[in-house]
Each structure stands twice: as structure tokens, then as C-alpha cells.
Structure 1
Amino acid sequence: MTAEHWDARYDDPRYLFGERPNDFLVEAEVMIPRRSREDGGRVLVLADGEGRNGVWLAKRGHRVTTVDFSAVAVGKALALAQRAGVTIEAHVADLADFVDSDAASGEWDALVLIFVHLPEGLRRTVAHALSPRLSERGVMILEGFTPAQVSMGTGGPSDESLLYTRERVLADWPELHLDVRLTERRVFEGPGHRGLSSVVQVLGRRRPS
């Protein structure tokens, strides 16, 4: 799907996936290392859409960079951050270009991918570029739909190749030690994701050197 397609979907006063953070992210956030008691971690949120996850992480004290290829979504993310009284660094970019940019460089305490459904080649490109940039105690947090989601009709792509299996996750992120869980749960995230859903939930860490 193109940026223009998502611009059209996001061009609504309502937030397509709501303003609340993803439930799995809320559960996993405690795993993100903090730089100090006052300062959270440096966090990169990929394909963050209208910013619900990035803004919530900023409210938790993290230094957040978000990226999405929809300019409309990024504008809404910045508006959401302003209403919440926090600051995020937000970029309009294709992930294929962003992962090699200065904005994606440096060491990250968390990589967050919530319902980021990409073609296989781009999935591998993103994972290969960003895995080495996790800090020593950093964590990768991922939730996405599985192929079983297609028949449920409660959100997500209809193209099975864009969905996650355990084998695909393991192949995408070979440099990380992964905890992969397949489950069904009820998702209520705005009008875009509503109802019983089949998901994969992943926590990743750097392998010991």
C-alpha cells in the first residue's frame, strides 16, 4: 500500500487505531532499560502511524523517535504529542530509506514494531539494519497479525505474505535471542482493529557476545 493510500485512510478527525497504546507494548514497556531514574531509554517506533504508541512511550519518560510514510499520520502524531504535553521526534519517510538515515543511527534501547506489516524483503532489510543498533540491554518489541487473522476479519492485511509466523520472525531477526508467542486476544484499537485477533508477540534481545 502506498503513502497516498494511508494518507487517505488517516485523513479523518478520528484516530484510525485510537489514541491508546497497544496492550502488548504496555505490558512489555517495563523491559525497556532506562538511562537513569529520571531519563528513559532511547526508543525507535517504526511505522507509528498517528503516534499513539510513541506518544505513550514519551509520557513514560522515554526519548522517542517515530517514523511513518504517511505525512497525514505524522501530523496527527505531533498534534497528539502536543495535547499530551510531551515531545517526540517524528519523521515522514519510507522505512527502506529511513533505516540508513542519520535519524536511525546510534544506539537504541528499544525497537518497537506494532502491527508493522511489510513485504519480506523490506522486513529483512529493516531487521538487518537495526538489530546491531540495540544497546546491550535493549529490547525489540513486536506484535503483528498471523495468517489466521485473514479469516477473522478484524483488521490487518489480507495478503498472507505480509503476516507473521514464528518461522518468519526467527528468519527476520537471527541476530537476536527471541521469545515468540502465538496467541489469540481481543484487540480494541479504534475503528481499525476491533475484535478477536490472531497475533504473534515477540520480545528480542541481543545475543551474548
Structure 2
Amino acid sequence: MNNLPSDFWNERYADAEYAYGIAPNDFFKAQLDAIKPGDILLPAEGEGRNALHAAKQGWNVTAFDSSSGGRKKAIQLSLDHGVAMHYEVADVLEFKTNKKFDVLGFIYAHFPIEIRKAANQRLIELLKPGGIVIFEAFAKTQLGNPSGGPKSLEMLFSIEEIEAEFSGIQFILMEEKFIQLNEGQFHQGKADVIRFVGIKE
């Protein structure tokens, strides 16, 4: 049995098929398309579906993930569609950049609970003042639902946890709701998610 998160994700991304499809997350797309393109950072970006959409819309894309398999498929997507993205293999607390970003896209970025607050705060530091956070992840009531998500309650979110972990962010939209997921093989069916849009103060 694999113990490292990167091992899990490399195994999931080993198939030629894209595990979560190549279309962007619906919430991410709707929010991003309303913003003038600039510099965007996408942590835990997996196989690159959201990075691809951002790049096609004219964003300067920086992405990272712990999975080398995810990066390989993301780069192939960018080549197939004739767009550029900068994509690194790195754990969240080890990712380094000299850039500051206009947007952070957290799309199902479920970090281990023991590092999650530090990881989220570290990423917020990379956001410009007035920069925007777009966030969607599974809520705690998603536990056991076959439509997707971590199998550990502590890796799922509550609104109260998000408000505590994203200090320095002014929330302009925050909602927990049931949605219909249709994202590749592993995000299918009714799901309980939390979404927010916030601005760095």
C-alpha cells in the first residue's frame, strides 16, 4: 500500500484518461471568466484542467502539485491546445516563487490537516493585496458520499474552519450547497461542497 500522497495521485493519474476530465470546474470557470486576466496560481492542480482553461483565457498560469504524473498530463494538455503554463512538482510548503499573484484558485485542494492552515496561509502570502481567491472543496457532510472527496473527516471543510484558516481574506461569497458533479470518473453525482470568493485585505 502506498503511504505518500504523491504515490496515491501518481497511481490515480497513471491511466491515459483524465481522472477528472479536461473541462474546468464550473464554479472556477464562472468566477475566473469575470476577471481581467493577469497572474494566477493553482495549487494541487493535478492533471491541469483548470490551468488549461485559465491559459486559454489569457492568464499567466503557475501551477504545482505533488504528483509528477499529474504534471506530465497537464503539460501534454497545454501542448495539445497550444497554450503555455508553468507547472512544478512540489509539496505545498516547499513550493517557492518570487511572483505575487492576482488570483489563487483552490479547487479541491484538500491538504492534510496537520499542515492545512499553514499551507493556506503560505499561499495567501503569495497573493497581491486586493487579489482574489476562488475556492471550492468538499464539505464535512460529504464524508461517505461516493461522488468524490477524501475519506477522512478532518480533511473535509466546514465554513468555520475556512474562516479561521483564511485569515486576511474578506469573503464576498460563501456558501455550502449540494451540486451535481460531472468531472471525469472520480467526481460524479450529488455532492456537498463549500464555495467562496474572497479578496485579500
Shorter chain as denominator, the TM-score bin is over 0.9
Match of 1:77 in 2: 74
CA RMSD of aligned residues (A): 1.3
Q: CA deviation at 1:31?
A: 4.6
- Structure 1 stretches of 4+ with a deviation exceeding 6 A read none
Q: CA deviation at 1:192?
A: 0.9
Instruction: Name which of 89, 93, 118 aligns with 2:111.
Output: 118
Structure 1: gaps spanning 5 or more residues: 35-39
Kindly provide the amino acid, as one letter, of the partner of residue 8 in structure 1: E
Structure 2: gaps spanning 5 or more residues: none
Contact 1:112 1:140 survives alignment (8 Å): yes
Contact 1:185 1:196 survives alignment (8 Å): yes
Q: Alpha-carbon deviations, 1:68-115, whole Å to 9, x = none? A: 1110110000000111110000000111211xx1x2x33210001101
Q: Alpha-carbon deviations, 1:19-59, whole Å to 9, x = none? A: 00000001111353x3xxxxx21000010000000011000
In the alignment of these two chains, the number of paired residues is: 197
Matched, 1:172 2:165: yes
The verdict on how the C-alpha distance between 1:118 and 1:3 changes in structure 2, with shifts beyond 3 A counting, is same
Q: How does 1:61-140 map to 2 (within 5 A)?
A: 61-98=58-95, 101=96, 103=97, 105-140=98-133
Q: Distance in 2 between matches of 1:171 and 1:148?
A: 19
Match of 1:153 in 2: 146
Q: Distance in 2 between matches of 1:120 and 1:65?
A: 24
Matched, 1:186 2:162: no
**Percent of aligned pairs sharing the same letter:** 30
TM-score, length-scaled by structure 1:
0.90
**Structure 1 SS opposite 2:140:** coil
Q: Distance in 1 between matches of 2:114 and 2:59?
A: 30
Q: Distance in 2 between matches of 1:203 and 1:23?
A: 14
